[in-house]
Each structure stands twice: as C-alpha cells, then as structure tokens.
C-alpha cells in the first residue's frame, strides 16, 4: 500500500507538470527550430496554406479570434526528448519490479493494471517522439551516387524506396555511414563500366535501389 501511495503521488506530480507545460508551451517558426537544435513534433493552427499568419486573427484581440490561434503544438529540445526517453525506461523498470512484488495481492490488481496501461502509453509516446523519416538521411545519397559514378565513369540509375519510413533518430543516424559504404561498394564493385556492360549484352546503365522498410 505504501508503494502504491508513492506511485499515486508521482502520477499527481506528472499531471501537474504536464498542465504547467501546456500553459507555458509556445510554437516557433521552422527556421528558429533549425537554429537552436529543436525538433518539430506538430503543426500549429492559425496559419493559412502557405504558412503565413492570418492577418485578421493576428490583429484582432477579441475572444472569437483567439480561439483560432489556440496553440496546438510545442517544440521539444532533442536533449529533453532523450531525457524523457530515459525516464520512461526507468518507469517501465520500476513498473516491472512493482508487479513482481504485488502480483500476489489480488486486491491491488486493478490499480496495477492501470499503472501498466499508463506506463505502456507513455513509453509508446516517448518512442514516437524519437522517430524521424528515412529521408533525413537518404536525401544526400542521390548526389553521392552521382559523384561516385562520375568519378568511375559509370552510368547509374539510382532509386530510393521508403524514404517516408520513420525510424528511431539515434539508430538512423548511426546507420548513415554504413549505408554510404554500401552504396560506394555497389557502384564501384557491383556495376560494370558501360563498355563492359554492352560487351556482356547488358544495358550501358546500371541500376541501384535502396529500400527502407519497417
């Protein structure tokens, strides 16, 4: 019972922190996010199709106009996302320990199930916040392949599939250098020169495809 009381206190503190964060949350422009190292996690209502502020809402201080400018997103610093992810891992570990200690107490099963759902939901949210599209790494690959093929006097038709697939930011960042190495080898050793390909009855242009899947 003492452990559950502590859990309830922690949950209450988390709710209060979340409410305080909602009140103080602000949304900056995309260029400012690139300058201070933050990640965009949502879009903000109150802008027209090309991203500019609606002039009527910007200049009108009436209650009706304020409802159109309601903040629907915040910007989260990368370090804060990492810290949140670490806290979530600690929470999940604590949940597992608590379940092992209390699983024999049938009277506490309902409260423990609620804690399970809360921790799992928080873990999923934190993991989703770390996801970035594969294109953030792969956008530079077409130029890389083009430069390599030009240096080696080869003709390459390069194609990327799944550039919208979202992966964990840390994993995707660590994958970049190995992928560059794979592409270099594919162009250098996997594709012959145009003359060699034609002599072998092939098209002078070779094809390289990079596919991302989940």
Closest CA to 202 of 211, 213, 190: 190
The answer on pLDDT for 203 being more than 70 is: yes
Q: Which of 177, 187, 181, 189 is nearest to 209 (CA)?
A: 187
Q: What CA–CA distance (Å, rounded) separates 46 from 84?
A: 29
Residue 156: its H or E element:
strand 155-161
Residue scoring higher pLDDT (118 or 26): 118
Domains of the chain: 2-130 (no CATH), 135-211 (3.30.565.10)
Give the percent of the chain with pLDDT over 90.
34
CA distance 209 to 214: 17
CB 78 within 8 A of CB 37: yes
pLDDT in tens, 140-199: 999 999 999 999 999 999 999 998 999 998 889 899 999 999 999 999 999 999 999 999
**C-alpha 117: how far from its chain's center?**
22
pLDDT at position 101: 78
Q: What is the pLDDT of residues 5-16, one digit of tens each?
A: 555 555 555 555
- pLDDT per position as a tens digit, 60-91: 444 444 445 566 666 778 888 888 888 888 88
């Amino acid at each position: 019972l003492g452990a559950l009381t502590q859990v309830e206190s922690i949950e209450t503190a988390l709710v209060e922190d979340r409410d305080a964060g909602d009140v103080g949350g602000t949304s900056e422009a995309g260029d400012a996010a690139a300058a201070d190292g933050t990640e965009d996690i949502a879009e903000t209502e109150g802008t027209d199709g090309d991203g500019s502020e609606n002039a009527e809402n910007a200049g009108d201080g009436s209650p009706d106009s304020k409802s159109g400018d309601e903040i629907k997103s915040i910007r989260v610093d990368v370090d804060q996302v990492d810290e949140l992810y670490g806290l979530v891992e600690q929470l999940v570990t604590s949940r597992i320990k608590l379940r092992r200690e209390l699983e024999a107490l049938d009277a506490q099963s309902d409260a423990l199930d609620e804690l399970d759902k809360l921790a799992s939901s928080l873990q999923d949210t934190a993991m989703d916040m770390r996801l970035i599209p594969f294109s953030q790494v792969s956008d530079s690959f077409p130029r890389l392949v083009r430069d390599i093929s030009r240096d080696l006097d080869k003709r390459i038709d390069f194609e990327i599939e799944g550039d919208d697939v979202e992966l964990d930011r840390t994993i995707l960042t660590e994958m970049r250098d190995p992928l560059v190495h794979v592409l270099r080898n594919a162009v250098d050793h996997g594709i012959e020169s145009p003359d060699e390909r034609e002599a072998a009855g092939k098209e002078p242009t070779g094809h390289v495809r990079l596919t991302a899947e989940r």
